[in-house]
Amino acid sequence: MKKKYIAVVDYGMGNLMSVSKAFAGFFPDVRVTNSKRVLNNADAVVLPGVGAFEDAVKNLEKIGIKKNLITNITSGKPFFGICLGLQLLFSRSEENGSFFGLDIIKGTVKRFPRKVELKIPQIGWNKIFIKKNTPLLKGIEEGSFVYFVHSYFGEPLDKSIVCTETVYGVKFASSVCLNNVFASQYHPEKSQRVGLKIIKNFVELIK
C-alpha cells in the first residue's frame, strides 16, 4: 500500500522549518519540496508563505510549478494555504500594483486602510470569529486568539466561503474554505494550542 505523505511547497518564500515541524507533530511523513512528481503523489499539500505577492508568483513560475500547483489544488486533495499562501489563491493582488494570482478564489487581495491609529503590518495576536462551520475548526472556540503578520488581506467575492473573520481597523476574512481548500491569513504554526488544533484537524482529513 502506498505510503501517505504531506507535501509542503518550497518556492523560496516560506517559513518552511516551523510549518513542516508543526505538521510533522501529527503526521509521520511531511516532505518539503518543489518537485512536480512529489506534489502530484502527495495526499495533501500545504502552501506556506511570507513576503511579497509579486515575488511569490514569479518564484512559482520560475521554478515551473505554478500550473502544477493549480492542478493539485483543483484535483480535490486536501490543501492548506497559510498567510501569503492564502493570498496567492486569489484572482489578483493590489500589492505594489496589480498582479494575478492562482485564481482559485475569485476576489482581490487588498491593503489595510491607512489609518493613523492602525499599525501596519498587523503583527501579533488577534481574535477569530467563526462564520462557517468546517471540520478544521472543530473544537475551536469563538473569539480564540491566533497569530498574524500581514499588511494585506483577501476579500473574496463569494462571502459564503469565509470561515472566520477578524477585526483590525476593518473586518476581514481571516480564513476561508472552498471544497477541499482551507486557507488562513493567520499562522497556525505560531498560534500555539489553537493553531495546532487546526493543523491536527486538517491531518485527520488525510488519515
- The owner of cell 512536480 is 36
Question: Which grid cell is 74?
Answer: 483543483
Question: Which grid cell is 148?
Answer: 498574524
Helices (H), 15-158: 16-24, 36-41, 53-63, 66-74, 84-87
Catalytic member of 54, 83, 117, 150: 83
Establish whether 163 is a catalytic residue.
no
Catalytic member of 61, 163, 189, 204: 189
* DSSP code for 138: T
- CA distances in angstroms from 19 to 42, 86, 122, 168, listed in the order given: 16, 14, 20, 25
Nearest-5° Cα angle at 93, 52 to 187: 55
Establish whether 83 is a catalytic residue.
yes
Catalytic member of 95, 163, 177, 187: 187
Q: Which residues are catalytic?
A: 83, 187, 189
